[in-house]
């Protein structure tokens, strides 16, 4: 297949399987400026599927950098509240959400950490109403990626730009199954496999997970009445969608106060223009009490200082080391892909769907069951070919879940 045909297949997959756009539904897209060709294809398919209006908000790396180079100091406590309020209003009105990633992973490397921290906190506070609708799965939403020159250069350093961009596109198409003869059918089969995993885990009702491996000795308690999810699911608006393309994970909610021990990252974390590597943390009663990193320590420290819940966990996910993304051998420097190459955890906000009947419970009830609340939700990778995971039953019996990074069930 030519690149043009693959791009069209990928765009259709995003609309039909990722979002499952409904007739008369509006669509809000956010994307890097370099993704305009993909956005145009997605827009065409969205209208063909019956969308009533497609609105795209573009981000540009150069204008983002201009803020940090030239804006007055007081500007970094400011966020586009009006924009995020509009997004939340759109979601409440039934609009679907598509986020296209592809930004430069190290765009803001070397910028003032204090300004980065303040800007990220202001943005997180302004975005909170929209984020709660997404983490609460109120609407059909999806995250996909677009290859961009800056991202491709970070993934394939030393390779000519055209070749690096082509290689990244090929990897995106392969990992998302867009290069298969019938991607939509392939995703139905994939969703069924992930559902089989979640059903097993929900039947076992583990109270905790025990992690062991190089630099990792962690006991991670699970929230009361937690629910494992994976692959596609039905949003509260009744639309079945796939929130991430690609996805290889099954995930649930940890108990915010029942995580103890040490854990280290196995892949870099790209967060708000900073690349964070070699993260090592120690938890006590659910909270990170010590942390170091080989690179980007200030950025990670600022992240977990955003609010009280940012230093606690909101998600735990299991991914086999032999996942297609891991087998590619590529470190994408992009969470959408790297989190699906390795088991991972996320600091910050819990997903309401990971608590039984979560959408019907108050914030106080969710907190009492162990769900975490925060302005942020950031995944980072801890899985490897050397990681072992046990499921701990209510009677403290340990059952092997993963051995050397692979499913043992």
Percent of the chain with pLDDT over 70: 100
Q: How confident is the model at residue 231 (pLDDT cuts 50, 70, 90)?
A: very high
DSSP state of 202: H
pLDDT attached to residue 151: 97
The per-residue pLDDT for range 48-98, each reduced to its tens digit, is 999 999 999 999 999 999 999 999 999 999 999 999 999 999 999 999 999
Cα-Cα-Cα-Cα dihedral sign, residues 228, 231, 232, 236: positive
Task: Summarize the confidence of residues 116-140 as an average pLDDT.
Answer: 93
Between 270 and 258, residue with greater pLDDT: 258
The per-residue pLDDT for range 233-249, each reduced to its tens digit, is 999 999 999 999 999 99
| Alpha-helical runs (H) found in 20-139 | 36-48, 61-70, 81-92, 113-135
Look at residue 171 and tell me whether its pLDDT is greater than 90.
yes
pLDDT attached to residue 110: 87
Mean pLDDT of the chain, nearest integer: 96
Helix, strand and coil in the chain, % to nearest 5: 40, 25, 35
Look at residue 273 and tell me whether its pLDDT is greater than 90.
no
The per-residue pLDDT for range 194-217, each reduced to its tens digit, is 999 999 999 999 999 999 999 999
pLDDT attached to residue 1: 87
Residue 97 CA to residue 28 CA, distance in Å, equals 5
Q: How confident is the model at residue 348 (pLDDT cuts 50, 70, 90)?
A: very high
Under 8 Å between Cβ of 386 and 214: yes
Give the lowest-confidence range in 12-26, 66-80, 182-196, 328-342.
328-342
Look at residue 271 and tell me whether its pLDDT is greater than 90.
no
Residue 240 CA to residue 293 CA, distance in Å, equals 39
Q: Quick one: which H or E segment has residue 173? A: helix 161-175
DSSP state of 75: G
The SS3 assignment for 21 reads coil
Look at residue 369 and tell me whether its pLDDT is greater than 90.
yes
The SS3 assignment for 41 reads helix
Fold annotation for 3-175: Thermophilic metalloprotease-like (3.40.1830)
pLDDT attached to residue 23: 98
Under 8 Å between Cβ of 59 and 32: yes
Length of the chain: 409
pLDDT attached to residue 191: 97
pLDDT attached to residue 113: 87
Task: Summarize the confidence of residues 214-226 as an average pLDDT.
Answer: 97
Q: Where are the domains of the chain?
A: 3-175, 205-229+248-407
Q: How confident is the model at residue 404 (pLDDT cuts 50, 70, 90)?
A: very high
Q: How many CA atoms lie within 13 A of 141 on its CB side?
A: 24
Nearest 5°: the CA angle 83, 89, 92 is 145
- pTM for the model stands at 0.89
The CB density around residue 397, as the number of other CB atoms within 10 Å, is: 10
Distance of CA 146 to the CA centre of its chain: 15
């Amino acid at each position: 297949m030519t690149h043009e045909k693959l791009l069209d297949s990928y765009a259709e997959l995003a609309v039909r399987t990722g979002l499952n756009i409904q007739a008369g539904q509006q669509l809000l897209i956010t994307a890097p400026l370099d993704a305009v060709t993909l956005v145009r294809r997605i827009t065409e398919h969205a209208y063909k599927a019956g969308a009533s209006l497609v609105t795209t908000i573009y981000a540009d790396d150069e204008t983002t950098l201009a803020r940090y180079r030239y804006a007055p100091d007081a500007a970094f406590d400011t966020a586009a509240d009006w924009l995020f309020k509009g997004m939340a209003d759109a979601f409440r009105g039934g609009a679907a959400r598509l986020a296209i990633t592809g930004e430069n992973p190290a765009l803001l490397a070397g910028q003032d950490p204090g300004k980065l921290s303040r800007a990220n906190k202001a943005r997180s506070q302004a975005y909170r109403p929209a984020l709660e609708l997404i983490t609460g799965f109120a609407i059909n939403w999806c995250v996909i990626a677009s290859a961009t020159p800056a991202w491709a250069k970070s993934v394939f350093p030393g390779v000519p730009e055209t070749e690096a961009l082509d290689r990244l596109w090929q990897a995106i198409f392969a990992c998302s199954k867009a290069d298969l003869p019938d991607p939509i059918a392939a995703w139905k089969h994939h969703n069924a496999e992930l559902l089989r995993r979640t059903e097993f885990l929900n039947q076992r009702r583990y109270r905790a997970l025990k992690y062991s491996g190089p630099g990792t000795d962690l006991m991670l308690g699970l929230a009361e009445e937690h629910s494992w999810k994976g692959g596609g699911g039905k949003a509260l608006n009744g639309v079945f969608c796939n929130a991430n393309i690609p996805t290889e994970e099954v995930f649930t909610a940890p108990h915010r106060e029942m995580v103890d021990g040490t854990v280290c990252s196995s892949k870099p974390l790209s967060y708000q223009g900073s690349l964070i590597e070699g993260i090592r943390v120690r938890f006590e009663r659910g909270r990170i009490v010590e942390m170091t990193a080989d690179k980007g320590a200030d950025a990670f420290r600022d992240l977990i200082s955003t609010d009280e819940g940012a230093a606690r966990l909101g998600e735990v996910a299991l991914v086999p080391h032999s996942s297609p993304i891991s087998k590619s051998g590529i470190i994408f420097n992009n969470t959408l892909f790297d989190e699906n190459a390795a088991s991972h955890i996320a600091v910050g906000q819990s997903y309401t769907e990971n608590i039984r009947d979560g959408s019907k419970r108050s914030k106080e009830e969710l907190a009492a069951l162990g769900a975490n609340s925060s302005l942020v939700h950031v995944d980072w990778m801890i899985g490897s070919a050397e990681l072992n995971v046990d499921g701990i039953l209510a009677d403290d019996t340990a059952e092997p879940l993963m051995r050397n990074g692979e499913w043992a069930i």
